[in-house]
Chains A and B, each alone.
Chain A
Amino acid sequence: DAGVTQSPTHLIKTRGQHVTLRCSPISGHKSVSWYQQVLGQGPQFIFQYYEKEERGRGNFPDRFSARQFPNYSSELNVNALLLGDSALYLCASSRGGQGGRLNNQPQHFGDGTRLSIL
């Protein structure tokens, strides 16, 4: 079975532009989370979606938005890009638990999208 797939793998943008990153979860996984990772730090939580609804949001500005589609794939959008948005953006999927218990199962990560802002 395919793992989590993300596209594109690399992206170069300039300040002020916007970007859309895409993620397809593992088949059967209904939960998708997005993370930002800069060099030397652990991944920082941005969003989690489960069954197309936002279930968690990290401490990121409103320039960051996301959505989940009926097939459980997801998009992360970032507007008005800043130099500080340069990072590895990781998508992770998990089955999601029953009864709303989302985070008692491990997440599986895609290879990430490496975003560079010039």
Chain B
Amino acid sequence: RKEVEQDPGPFNVPEGATVAFNCTYSNSASQSFFWYRQDCRKEPKLLMSVYSSGNEDGRFTAQLNRASQYISLLIRDSKLSDSATYLCVVNFNTNAGKSTFGDGTTLTVKP
């Protein structure tokens, strides 16, 4: 079993739809979490950090469920420009240097 798992999708949604992705992790001692987006053949770009109490940035909401060991990303009012691959990142030990990425969930928003 992978340390960090994501549903690869693809998720195909119409403009204006609400879509949610989950990312599960295996190590209960995981300490910090992030969502990145990656466009085709580009570098990953930070979308948002994920805080224990959940956090929102415009149309994007991230949540953490430690009991069930997953993080989620909710995108409201999807735009064509949201089409990308969304990567979750889990850091198991913030005193050591290792970040574990999921393999990403691909989102395509259609007109």
Contacts and interface: CB of A to CB of B under 8 A. Distances in A.
Chain A partners chain B: yes
Interface of A: 31, 33, 35, 40-45, 47-50, 54-56, 58, 90, 97, 100-104, 106-112
B94 A103 contact: yes
B95 A100 contact: yes
B34 interface: yes
A97 B98 contact: no
A65 to B, nearest CB: 15
A101 B96 CA distance: 7
B44 A109 contact: yes
Interface stretch (B14-22, B54-62, B68-76, B101-109): B101-109
Given A56-B97, A97-B94, A104-B91, A40 B44 contact: no
The SS class assigned to the B binding surface is loop
Interface residues of B, number: 24
Given A40-B103, A111-B43, A106 B97 contact: no
Contact of B97 (A41, A103, A110): A103
Given A49-B97, A111-B42, A112-B43, 16 more contacts: A41-B103, A42-B4, A42-B87, A43-B87, A45-B101, A48-B97, A48-B98, A54-B97, A55-B96, A55-B97, A56-B98, A103-B31, A103-B97, A104-B32, A109-B43, A110-B43
